[in-house]
Amino acid sequence: MKRIAIFASGSGTNMERIAGYFSNNSEVEICLVVCNKKGAGVIDRAAKFGIPVEMIDRQSFYQTDKLANKLRLLNTDLLVLAGFLWLIPASLLEAFPGKIINIHPALLPAYGGKGMFGMRVHEAVVAAGEQFSGITIHYVNEHYDEGAVIFQAKTELVHDETPESLAVKIHELEYRFFPEVIAELLR
């Protein structure tokens, strides 16, 4: 059995899609959702699937090995960042080398880095007059959005594209491809 921990800070729609994708797969289990924001929608979405949630605070996340130890005890095979906005600490990078992935709502290396998430990315892409945007699934390292690219998918921007309409297109790509790429990585 392969075990996944999903890290999320927001509404949890990607977590929900991943959980749904693997819900009938006896070979894959989402063993934990890690959340750093009280009241985040991901908490209720995890509960619907019976997935335990570990709430974390900044101090323990960055200054202790508690989470790394818990994830080891759970025999976690892959850490999946799905809208998680904190930089991953060295303790987790060392405990799970090459086993932490993230999804970014743009075609990296463009529009990545600290502070570039969600609508901020879409606003920047539209303001720059880009012809294409998309998603990047990549390995996580000690810098925001700089790990090796695993997969990219793109979508064309239309002449009257708005950040909101682009966000819809990007979510469609995320929901379609993120679970599939995770499944490939677990083989």
Quick one: tokens of 80? 């999946």
Beta-carbon contacts of 136 under 8 Å, excluding residues fewer than 6 positions away, are 103, 104, 106, 107, 108, 112, 145, 149, 151, 152
Catalytic residue among 104, 138, 143, 159: 104
- Short-list 93, 95, 76, 90, CA closest to 34: 76
For residue 159, indicate whether it is catalytic.
no
Quick one: tokens of 52? 């335990």
- Short-list 139, 132, 138, 104, CA closest to 118: 104
For residues 157 and 126, the answer to whether their CB atoms sit within 8 Å is: yes
Between helices 41-48 and 13-22, what is the axis angle to 10°? 10
Residues in the chain: 187
Active-site residues: which are they? 104
